[in-house]
A and B are shown apart, each in its own frame.
Chain A
């Protein structure tokens, strides 16, 4: 529901003329609900900024929140709810902070009980509802991006690539591997091969309880990609259940080296490099 241009200007005037009691009442309502989790000065600053942006938008004739004139107001609201989301306030608390304006306004209108005023209040109330919903949405979006950031940080933490020997790196995978994590691990592994100039990589999946087709495919693709780059991968620590899954899913591990344990895999690699050196030596003797 949109305001008429008339109503919008009238409300702007109302907010200006009653600026003091409205903002004060508004601040009080929010403060009661937040119970001191935000400093009074900060709260006053936020409320005054919202008030100023509203007056600004309404006096320019904004008929609803999506109007061109309300761009500034939307920015202020978005900033408000982003701040709330970051500081750990709930979505309800954030939206109620905006809805509190209705109560504040109503209490300052109590004296004047004409029908005209009532109509204005209803129209105005719809506008505040829009503001509340907008705040809510921004809040949710901010939270979502926070969660995404944290998930990413968690991925970084949970995927170490370690140098095991000169020319040998290993990734000990622990926990459930979903497709996204498998991808991160694999990219990290390949980059480490380049950074350390290691021609051998061991992917140890002892700590992985289960693999599905997608994850198995990721591991396979990594092995192939490593080969394209000139490095060899060995997979170690395949549990019996995982071996069964791999066969049941019909995934071809082909000529990829698999070893029972990380130690076996390392021994295998050392023997490979060792064989080369001894061969070279024997040739020199010959």
Chain B
């Protein structure tokens, strides 16, 4: 079975799906990604689907699950590069990809994550990435 490579670029994990994924490959990606988020402590995930010529309900569900999992692990997921024909088909299929953020390309995806993180830091100044030593009584 093929595995989709995951690249780390700064604070972001970049997944560029280049193969026609079998369902197993999709499930494996989901697991690999969760592990890498924890291992690297990255706060952003970009999934580039420019090369995907279809997204069916299985892959759609995988993308939603990845977004949910990464949110739990304090990372923002952005799906980028969806082709027009794929988007039109998804709408017809009735798949809304709820909870997934999207951007036109990798660059815009990175901007989106940056803005998102900035908002986070702004809204919750307490959310300090460096844990403060707890005072012992």
Contacts and interface: CB of A to CB of B under 8 A. Distances in A.
B103 A225 contact: no
Interface string B25-44: 00000000000000000000
A190 B88 contact: yes
Given A190-B87, A193-B104, A197-B108, A228 B82 contact: yes
A267 B71 CA distance: 34
A72 interface: no
Interface in A182-207: 186-187, 190-191, 193-194, 197-199
B69 interface: no
Given A191-B84, A283-B122, A225 B104 contact: no
Given A193-B104, A231-B104, A280-B118, A224 B84 contact: no
Contact of A197 (B102, B105, B118): B105
Interface residues on chain B, size class = 20 to 34
A187 B88 contact: yes
A199 B91 contact: no
Contacts of B96: 224
A229 B104 contact: yes
A191 B82 CA distance: 11
A91 B18 CA distance: 53
A276 interface: yes
Contacts of B87: 190, 225-226, 228-229
A141 interface: no
A37 interface: no
A45 B98 CA distance: 67
Contacts of A227: 102
Contacts of A229: 82, 84, 87, 102, 104
Majority secondary structure, A binding face? helix
B73 interface: no
A151 to B, nearest CB: 21
A187 B79 CA distance: 20
B104 A228 contact: no
B97 interface: yes
Interface string B10-27: 000000000000000000
A97 B102 CA distance: 62
Contacts of B90: 225, 228
B80 to A, nearest CB: 7
Contacts of B80: 230
B102 A225 contact: no
A271 interface: no
Interface of A: 186-187, 190-191, 193-194, 197-199, 221, 224-231, 276, 280, 283
14 contacts: A186-B88, A187-B85, A190-B84, A191-B84, A197-B107, A221-B91, A228-B90, A228-B97, A228-B102, A230-B78, A230-B79, A230-B80, A230-B82, A230-B103
Given A194-B104, A228-B97, A230-B112, 14 more contacts: A190-B88, A197-B105, A199-B104, A225-B84, A225-B88, A225-B91, A227-B102, A228-B90, A229-B104, A230-B82, A230-B104, A231-B104, A280-B115, A280-B118
